[in-house]
Amino acid sequence: MPTPAPPSTLQLLVVTLSAALVSSIISPLIFHFLNRRRDRRQRGADRRIEDYRRYLRTLEGLSESLRNDFKDLLGVKLPQHFSRILNGQPDFEGFNADLGQLYSRVFSSSTQAKVEVQALKLTCSEEVFGLVNRYVALWDEVQRETSTISMTKNNLPAVAQRFTELASQSDALHSALIAQMRKEIGES
């Protein structure tokens, strides 16, 4: 079996230059595309984090405001109105005004929560979106329950119990939302 002839200097030079040329063009291109993909993912993660942060701030503010409104109404104003009614000195205008203010605040908070959901629709996962939809449905339930307070004057403890249940459901959903958002941010 004949041995192959050693490569000539020209052949070695061509191979070496070809390898250098390919590595000087291909490597930067590969690096550029990988870097671009990483930057795009990072921008998406940053946008998602900012959307989550804004939405949670809004929800926490709305929840706190709503909780204080209900404490004020159910703990102070309604008992005062009912005692006036029982003592024969009803202030129906004040009673209706207090209920109207509460309903207006609940409606405004519900609308604001729904508007904030729009930003999340573009960036959140299906899991977060499902939790957010459940949270919005809970806000709708609070809104419906608020509109029926004036019709349940004789059953104030039941009304207070229902709102306590809704608040506990809200807290549980809020915790689930935060846990899912943290999980997704950690994956990003």
Q: Is residue 13 part of a domain?
A: yes
- Together in a domain, 144 and 163: yes
Residue 99 belongs to a domain with what CATH number?
1.20.120
Quickly state the pLDDT bin for 36 (edges 50, 70, 90): very high
- Together in a domain, 25 and 59: no
CB neighbour list of residue 133: distance below 8 Å, 6 or more residues apart: 117
pLDDT at 55: 81
Q: Is residue 109 part of a domain?
A: yes
Domain range for 34 is 9-39
pTM confidence score = 0.60
Task: Classify residue 125 by burial, with Cβ atoms within 10 Å: 0-12, 13-18, 19+.
Answer: middle
Per-residue pLDDT tens over the stretch 100-142: 887 787 777 777 777 777 777 777 888 988 888 888 888 788 7
Could you tell me which residue, 176 or 114, shows the higher pLDDT? 176
